[in-house]
Amino acid sequence: MATLRDVAREAGVSVATASRAINGLGNVTAPTKAAVMAAVKKLNFVPHSGARSLTRRKTDTVGVILPDLFGEFFSEIIRGIDLVAHESGMHLLLGNMHGSTHETAAAIAAMRGRVDGLLVMPPDLKPELLSDYLDPTLPTVLLNYDAGSLDLPFVAVDNYRGAYAMTEALLAGGARQVVHIAGPKHNRDARDRQRGFVDAMAQVGGVRNPAILPGDFSEESGVKAARLLVEGQLPADAVFAANDQMAVGLIAGLAESGKSVPGDIMVAGFDDIPLARHLNPSLSTMQVHIDRLGSTAMMLLLRILRGETLGAASATILTPALVARGTTGGVAAARTSA
């Protein structure tokens, strides 16, 4: 592979001149520049980004650290990030914490020297730990994580208000006994959604200790919840699952037990994954523009990298929108129904 020195030699100039010519800095005459460019073409020279970033002290890359890469949720986030990053000529370096705290530290450490900034989504990490791992000199935006005590910019979904709104809607739709399927215990999203549910039940429904079934955001745990519900003879006329994935499993489980949705029992989810509208009946849910979560965070990071100071703008909360569909009897079944 040709280096800049090779190009300089070929063009009969110094490396400094070659560098200036290639990067379009002013002080190079047209003929000199032409000679350099000819050498570049001839030798097929492509600048070594690693070396360049070493002196420039910028890499034009941002690190993205996600808890997992599974499912549409993450692909949407990445797509949103990429959209904005691409516009600014930034690259994306993917890190995956694979659920382990230790891996998280490693993933973050490995980013040093490779990226100009970090986008981190640590749904089940304690703030103190997180601040230990993060490099304070590296611009960082948190995804879906209210930093709280940490003084870091973040973009989050208003899980609390979303859950509150959905619960309210179920009650308004005639449900009296609403059961919640919770997400993983340590997951902040899950906890906030549960809080929203509990508060809405108390404040709007006048119910003190609403039933809550355990879950872990997986489809399987939704199936299990259906079993618990039916076998446990839990009185319920509506179930609000903490995410769509569990709602999908729940509906399958209810169908096996001969329960009809929404006839016997209404079902609602959270996230509005693409699958939601294709179910039959289609799934009522809280629509989160997942890609916007990513793109907003990326825009925030870009502004920080540009040196802008963002005061209150550093905390962005996206409010999910209620989408009433078939499983709450809100609208006719999706058109995919036969």
Q: Say which entry of DNA, a copy of itself, none residue 101 contacts (CB below 5 to 8 A, set by partner kind).
A: none
Preceding omega of 214 cis (within 30 degrees of 0)? no
Is residue 48 involved in binding DNA (CB under 7 A)? yes
**Least distance in Å: CB of 143 to a copy of itself?**
16
Interface with DNA by CB under 7 A: which range of 4-12, 93-101, 240-248, 253-261?
Answer: 4-12
Is residue 45 involved in binding DNA (CB under 7 A)? yes
Residue 276 Ramachandran class (φ > 0 left, ψ -120 to 50 alpha, else beta): alpha
Q: Say which entry of a copy of itself, DNA, none residue 27 contacts (CB below 5 to 8 A, set by partner kind).
A: DNA
Alpha helices in 232-315 (DSSP H): 244-256, 290-305
Cβ distance 245 to 273 under 8 Å? yes
Q: Which of 24, 44, 57, 312 forms a contact with DNA (CB under 7 A)?
A: 57
Is residue 12 involved in binding DNA (CB under 7 A)? yes
Buried b (16+ CB within 10 A) or exposed e, 86-117: eeeebbbeebebeeeeeebbebbeebeeebbb
**Least distance in Å: CB of 210 to a copy of itself?**
25
Which among 9, 78, 5 has a CA at the least distance from the CA of 48?
5
For residue 19 the two structure tokens come to 């560098």
How far is CA 313 from each of CA 84, 282, 293, rounded to the nearest angstrom?
18, 36, 15
Is residue 52 involved in binding DNA (CB under 7 A)? yes
Give how many residues touch DNA by CB under 7 A. Answer: 31
Q: Is 105 helix (H, G, I), strand (E, B) or coil?
A: helix
Nearer to a copy of itself, 115 or 200 (CB): 115
**Least distance in Å: CB of 32 to DNA?**
3
Q: Say which entry of a copy of itself, DNA, none residue 255 contacts (CB below 5 to 8 A, set by partner kind).
A: a copy of itself
211's CB contacts (< 8 A; 6+ apart) are 177, 179, 180, 234, 236
Q: Say which entry of DNA, a copy of itself, none residue 5 contacts (CB below 5 to 8 A, set by partner kind).
A: DNA
Is residue 39 involved in binding DNA (CB under 7 A)? no
Interface with DNA by CB under 7 A: which range of 12-20, 185-193, 224-232, 282-290?
Answer: 12-20
